[in-house]
Amino acid sequence: MLDSLLRILALTRKELLAVLKDKRSRLSLLIPPVVQALIFGYAATYDLNHVTYAALDQDHSAASRQLLAAVDGSGVFERVADLQRASDIATYIDARRALLVLQINQNFERQLLSGRGADLQVIADGRNSNTAGTAIGYVGSVVEQFNAAWGGDHGWTPPPVQLVSRAWYNPNLETRWFMIPGMIGTLTLIQTMMLTAMSVAREREQGTFDQLLVTPFRPYEIMAGKALPSMLVGTIQATGVLLVAQLWFHIPFEGSYLTLYAGLMLFLLAAVGIGLLLSSVAATMQQAMLYSMLLIMPFSLLSGLTTPLSSMPDWLQYLTAINPLRYAIDITRRVYLEGTGLNLLLSDLWPLCLLAALSLSGASWMFRHRMQ
Amino acid sequence: MKLPHHVHLLAHAKLRRIRALVWKETHQVLRDPSSIAIGVILPLILILLFGYGLSLDVKNVPIAVVVDQPTAEAMELVASLQLSPYFKPRLLRAMPPAQELLLAHAVDGIVRIPADFSRHVGAGDAQVQLIVHGGDANRARIIQGYVQGALGAWSARQAAQGQQAAAVPVSVQTRLWFNEADNSSYFLVPGLVVLVMTLIGGLLTAMVMAREWERGTLEALLVTPVRSDEILLGKTLPYFLLALIGFALCVLSARFLFHVPLRGALWVLLSASMLYVLVALGIGLLISSWVKNQLVASQLTMLVTFMPAFMLSGFLFDLRSTPAAVQVISYALPARYYVALLQTVFLAGDVWSVIVPNTLALAAMAAALALGSRAAMRKTLE
Amino acid sequence: MNARAPALVAQQLHKRFQRKDESPVQALHGVSFEARYGELTALVGPDGAGKTTLMRLAAALLHVDAGSLSVLGIDIASDPQQVQDRISYMPQRFGLYEDLTVQENLDLYADLHGVSADGRAQRYPALFDMTALGPFRSRLAGQLSGGMKQKLGLACTLVRSPELLLLDEPTVGVDPISRRELWDIVRQLVAEQGLTVVLSTAYLDEAERCSHVILLHQGKVLSQGSPQQVAAMAAGHCFVAVPSAQQSARALQARLLDEPDVVDAVPDGGRVRFVRAAVGKPAVIEHALEGLAVDPVLPRFEDGFMMLLRTAVERERLPPISVTRPVAGHAGHAVVQVQRLLKKFGAFTAVDHISFEVRRGEIFGLLGPNGAGKTTTFRMLCGLLVPTAGQLRVAGADVRSASASARARLGYVAQKFALYGPLSVLENLEFFASAYGLRGERKRARIAWATQQFELGEHLRTTSSQLPGGYKQRLAMAAALLHEPEILFLDEPTSGADPLARRSFWRRITALADQGVTIIVTTHFMQEAEYCDHIAIMDSGQVLSQGSPAEVRQRARTQARPEPSMEDAFIAVVEQARAAQAAA
Q: Are C305 and C267 found together in one domain?
A: yes
Domains in chain C: how many in total?
2
Residue C8 confidence (pLDDT): 92
- Is B171 among the domain residues? no
Q: Where are the domains of chain A?
A: 2-44+174-369, 51-153
Residue C560 confidence (pLDDT): 82
Q: Highest mean pLDDT range out of B144-153, C225-234, C457-466? A: C225-234
- Is C74 among the domain residues? yes
CB contact under 8 A, C98 and B382: no
Q: What is the largest CA-CA distance in chain A?
A: 93
Q: Are B336 and B313 in contact (CB under 8 A)?
A: yes
CB contact under 8 A, C88 and B223: yes
- Is C240 among the domain residues? yes
Q: Are C99 and C193 found together in one domain?
A: yes
Q: Are B303 and B355 found together in one domain?
A: yes
% chain C with pLDDT above 90 = 24
Q: Give the gap in angstroms from C-alpha B121 to the nearest C-alpha of chain A.
A: 6
Q: Are C171 and C55 found together in one domain?
A: yes
Q: Give me the amino acid identity at C71.
A: V
- Is C358 among the domain residues? no
Q: Give me the amino acid identity at C530.
A: E
- pLDDT band of residue A371 (cuts 50, 70, 90) is low
- Is B165 among the domain residues? no
H or E element: which one contains B28? helix B2-31
Was domain A51-153 assigned CATH 3.40.1710.10?
A: yes
- pLDDT band of residue B1 (cuts 50, 70, 90) is very low
Domains in chain B: how many in total?
2
Residue A324 confidence (pLDDT): 95
Query: What is the C-alpha separation between C478 and C484, in angstroms, rounded?
Result: 10
Residue C89 confidence (pLDDT): 93
Q: Are A273 and A354 in contact (CB under 8 A)?
A: no
Query: What is the C-alpha separation between A262 and A331, in angstroms, rounded?
Result: 10
* Domain stop point among C169, C194, C225: C225
Q: What is the pLDDT of residues B205-224, one digit of tens each?
A: 877 777 788 778 888 888 88
Q: Are B104 and B42 found together in one domain?
A: no
Query: What is the C-alpha separation between B44 and B52, in angstroms, rounded?
Result: 12
- Is B97 among the domain residues? yes
Task: Give Cβ neighbours of residue B2 (< 8 Å, ≥ 6 apart).
Answer: none
Q: Are C126 and C215 found together in one domain?
A: yes
Residue C322 confidence (pLDDT): 60
Q: Are C158 and C244 found together in one domain?
A: no
Instruction: Residue B127: name the closest of B137, B116, B135 by CA.
Output: B116
Q: Are B98 and B231 found together in one domain?
A: no
Q: What is the pLDDT of residues B2-37, one digit of tens each?
A: 456 667 777 888 889 999 999 999 998 888 877 788
- Is C247 among the domain residues? yes
Is a pLDDT exceeding 50 seen at residue C411?
A: yes
Q: Are B47 and B130 found together in one domain?
A: no
Q: Are B222 and B265 found together in one domain?
A: yes
Is a pLDDT exceeding 50 seen at residue C314?
A: yes
Residue C56 confidence (pLDDT): 92
How high is the mean pLDDT of chain A?
A: 88
Mean pLDDT score, C530-547: 89
C-alpha to C-alpha distances, A260 to A238, B135, C20, nearest whole angstrom: 10, 17, 41
Q: Positive or negative CA dihedral for B62, B67, B71, B73?
A: negative
Determine which of B152-166, C238-252, C289-303 has the lowest per-residue pLDDT on average.
Answer: B152-166
Residue B111 confidence (pLDDT): 92
- Is C382 among the domain residues? no
- Is C303 among the domain residues? yes
CB contact under 8 A, B225 and C113: yes
H or E element: which one contains A333? helix A324-333
- A 276-335 → B contacts, CB under 8 A: 285-287, 289-291, 293-294, 297-298, 301-302, 306-308, 310-313, 316, 330, 333-334
Question: Nearest by CB to B58, which of A44, A128, A311?
Answer: A311
C-alpha to C-alpha distances, B375 to C61, C398, C568, nearest whole angstrom: 16, 60, 53
Mean pLDDT score, A262-288: 90
- pLDDT band of residue C180 (cuts 50, 70, 90) is confident
Q: Are B219 and B354 found together in one domain?
A: yes
Q: Are C144 and C102 in contact (CB under 8 A)?
A: yes
Residue C399 confidence (pLDDT): 67
Q: Are C206 and C85 found together in one domain?
A: yes
Q: Are B125 and B253 found together in one domain?
A: no
Number of alpha carbons in the 13 Å side-chain half-sphere of residue B319: 23
- Is C571 among the domain residues? no
- Enumerate the residues of chain C whose CB falls inside 8 A of the CB of residue B377: none
Is a pLDDT exceeding 60 seen at residue B164?
A: no
C-alpha to C-alpha distances, C191 to C178, C186, C188, C210, C457, nearest whole angstrom: 20, 9, 5, 12, 49
- Is B123 among the domain residues? yes
**CATH assignment of the domain containing C245:** 3.30.70
Q: Are B207 and B132 found together in one domain?
A: no
What's the pTM value of the predicted model, to 2 decimals? 0.84
Residue C103 confidence (pLDDT): 94
* Domain stop point among C189, C210, C225: C225
- pLDDT band of residue A71 (cuts 50, 70, 90) is very high
Between these two residues, C171 and C543, which has the higher pLDDT value? C543
Mean pLDDT score, A304-321: 85
Q: Positive or negative CA dihedral for C393, C396, C398, C401?
A: negative
Residue B365 confidence (pLDDT): 95
* Domain stop point among C261, C279, C312: C312
What string of DSSP letters covers B102-152?
A: HHTTS-SEEEEE-TTHHHHHHHT-EEEEEEEE-SSHHHHHHHHHHHHHHHH
Chains sharing 3 or more CB pairs under 8 A with chain C: A, B
- Is B222 among the domain residues? yes
- Is C111 among the domain residues? yes
Q: Are B60 and B87 in contact (CB under 8 A)?
A: yes
- Is B81 among the domain residues? yes
Is a pLDDT exceeding 50 seen at residue C1?
A: no
Query: What is the C-alpha separation between C90 and C96, in angstroms, rounded?
Result: 10
**CATH assignment of the domain containing B91:** 3.40.1710.10
Q: Are C302 and C204 in contact (CB under 8 A)?
A: yes
Q: Are B40 and B126 found together in one domain?
A: no
C-alpha to C-alpha distances, B131 to A134, A258, B95, B147, B237, nearest whole angstrom: 20, 29, 11, 11, 57
Q: Give the gap in angstroms from C-alpha C134 to the nearest C-alpha of chain A.
A: 30
Number of alpha carbons in the 13 Å side-chain half-sphere of residue C100: 24
% chain A with pLDDT above 90 = 40
Residues belonging to chain C with any Cβ–Cβ distance to chain A shorter than 8 Å: 379, 382-386, 404-405, 407-408, 410, 412, 414-416, 418-423, 427, 430-432, 434-437, 439, 489
Instruction: Residue A299: name the closest of A200, A223, A192 by CA.
Output: A192
Residue C2 confidence (pLDDT): 46
How high is the mean pLDDT of chain C?
A: 85
% chain C with pLDDT above 70 = 91
A256 touches chain B (CB under 8 A): no
Mean pLDDT score, A108-122: 88
Question: Nearest by CB to B187, which of A116, A129, A311?
Answer: A129
Domain hosting residue C86, numbered range? 8-225
Distance from CA of residue C246 to its chain's centroid? 31
Is a pLDDT exceeding 70 seen at residue C450?
A: yes
Q: Are B281 and B371 found together in one domain?
A: yes
Q: Are B49 and B87 found together in one domain?
A: no
Helix (H, G, I), strand (E, B) or coil at B232: helix
Mean pLDDT score, A239-264: 94
Determine which of A153-167, A326-340, C396-410 has the lowest per-residue pLDDT on average.
Answer: C396-410
Residue C529 confidence (pLDDT): 87
CB contact under 8 A, B28 and C100: yes
Residue A103 confidence (pLDDT): 94
- Is B265 among the domain residues? yes
Mean pLDDT score, C206-222: 89
C-alpha to C-alpha distances, C265 to C241, C250, C254, C262, C271, nearest whole angstrom: 10, 10, 8, 7, 10
In terms of phi and psi (left: phi > 0; alpha: psi -120 to 50; beta: otherwise), the region of C45 is left
Query: What is the C-alpha separation between B341 and B349, in angstroms, rounded?
Result: 10
Number of H helices, E strands in chain C: 19, 24
Exposure string (b/e) for A105-124, b if CB count within 10 Å is 16 or more?
A: eeebbebbeeeeebebbbbb
Residue C515 confidence (pLDDT): 83
- pLDDT band of residue C415 (cuts 50, 70, 90) is confident
Cα three-residue angle C206-C212-C216, rounded to 5 degrees: 75
Q: Are A342 and A262 in contact (CB under 8 A)?
A: yes
Residue A229 confidence (pLDDT): 93
Q: Are B348 and B178 in contact (CB under 8 A)?
A: yes
Residue C396 confidence (pLDDT): 76
- pLDDT band of residue C281 (cuts 50, 70, 90) is low
C319 DSSP 8-state letter: P
First to last CA, chain A: 28
How high is the mean pLDDT of chain B?
A: 85
Q: Are B31 and B93 found together in one domain?
A: no
What string of DSSP letters covers C50-71?
A: SHHHHHHHHTTSS--SEEEEEE
Query: What is the C-alpha separation between C177 and C427, in angstroms, rounded?
Result: 40
Domain hosting residue B83, numbered range? 61-160
Q: What is the pLDDT of residues C140-157, one digit of tens each?
A: 988 887 778 888 998 999
Give the ipTM. 0.82
Exposure string (b/e) for C65-76, b if CB count within 10 Å is 16 or more?
A: eebebbbbebeb
Mean pLDDT score, B182-203: 83
**Mutate which of A128, A153, A154, A186 to test chain B, going by most B C-beta atoms within 10 A?**
A128
User: Residue C343: closest CA among chain A residues belongs to which residue?
Assistant: A372
Q: Give the gap in angstroms from C-alpha B103 to the nearest C-alpha of chain A.
A: 8
CB contact under 8 A, C384 and A214: yes
